[in-house]
Structure 1
């Protein structure tokens, strides 16, 4: 009987650990756009951005790794890649400029120090 109770206790503990739900992706209509927040399995935000009502990526999209660090900032216009995209990898930033949905220029920068600017 004691072994059965221990087995039930173990099953209950394992079940409660695995039943903790991570946040579900959210989609909220805001005017003529749909705001999306997507999550990693560990509950950290994976991406944020907007869709058009025609289900095309629109505006700024930000991506994060599973630890919550920003990895990319992208821009779309009705599903097409536009403007300057930034990719963050440690102390390196890559900028990719899109023109007519094609890569027009790629630049790489190394972050050497951080400066704080105050607007007093």
Structure 2
């Protein structure tokens, strides 16, 4: 069940390319830097393509500019540790061969003034 939730978060944050604004594409050496925007002008996500495949670090943000997810692609496949943030928790997902290998969750503990 955790893997399904994490995968749905991944798809909503990393592949949320459907917006009305066109992405900004910039050539940087042999890479293409892609920046996608929300309608409010804030960055939705940013990362790189190489030979038409996702590569390097991709970072996604919410509409207020807070980081939602961060992870790395290698030749179009998810690799290594990915992090997913929300207001109350952080999830760390390890990928091996573009598949979920493990999931760790941390919840923000309520701070009570005594």
Q: Shorter-chain TM-score category?
A: 0.7 to 0.9
Q: Higher relative contact order by CA 8 Å / sep ≥ 6: 1 or 2?
A: 2
Query: 1:24 deviation in Å?
Result: 4.8
> Rg bigger for which structure?
1
Q: TM-score normalized by structure 1?
A: 0.70
Q: Runs of 4+ in structure 1 displaced over 2 angstroms? A: 22-25, 110-113
CA distance, structure 1, for counterparts of residue 37 and residue 26 of structure 2? 15
Count of matched residue positions in the alignment of Structure 1 and Structure 2: 91
Q: Indicate the residue corresponding to 2:67 in structure 1.
A: 70
Q: Indicate the residue corresponding to 2:16 in structure 1.
A: none
Mapping 1:12-27, distance limit 5 Å: 24-27=22-25
CA distance, structure 1, for counterparts of residue 48 and residue 53 of structure 2? 8
For the aligned residue pairs, the C-alpha RMSD in angstroms reads: 1.8
Q: TM-score normalized by structure 2?
A: 0.74
Q: Indicate the residue corresponding to 2:6 in structure 1.
A: none
